[in-house]
Amino acid sequence: MNPTEGKKKRIRLLFVCLGNICRSPAAEGIMSGIVSKNELQDIIEVDSAGTSGWHQGDLPDERMRSHGEKRGYDFCSRARKFKKTDFNDFDYIIVMDENNYHTVKSLVSGKEQADKIHLMTEFSVQFNNHDNIPDPYYGGSTGFELVLDLLEDACEGLLQVIKKKHSLY
């Protein structure tokens, strides 16, 4: 490792959904896997949160964990509520739907914070016909599988954007 490599600023990503038990922990787990596969874990850090605190401290929904496990993921983060200080701690705040977007945006203090907020679907490559990542909580297996398909696609797209923007090639 050359001496300047260790001094690179870490790029911090925060995925946000409503309860932090389905979509955002799945995005966190998928992105963590992609980051590791690309050997960027020393540069890119990943976390997740919810706009509500209903499930604080809980593991992700067991259905999401089960569907993720079938694809080789381990969704094991603990739910936490999004807080205003997250704007200072993260470079990208990536929300799953318009409701999450408006809730997070209502907490900003200025343009710099607002510019950090992105819809997950902004990074979609193959599934660019979806405006939001739908909440699978009240649905069946197909909803969880769709969410995983959408998140895998958007996480790959996000990594490409980050690589380009931060010259990580």
Of 23, 47, 61, 65, the active-site residue reads 23
d(CA 65, CA 55): 15
**Is 17 annotated in the active site?**
yes
Smallest Cα–Cα separation from 53: which of 87, 20, 95? 20
Q: At what angle do helices 23-37 and 141-165 cross, to 10 degrees?
A: 50
Distance of CA 53 to the CA centre of its chain: 17
**Is 22 annotated in the active site?**
no
Of 17, 22, 61, 65, the active-site residue reads 17
**Is 74 annotated in the active site?**
no
Residue position matching structure tokens 């819809």: 119
Of 47, 61, 97, 135, the active-site residue reads 135
Catalytic residues: 17, 23, 135
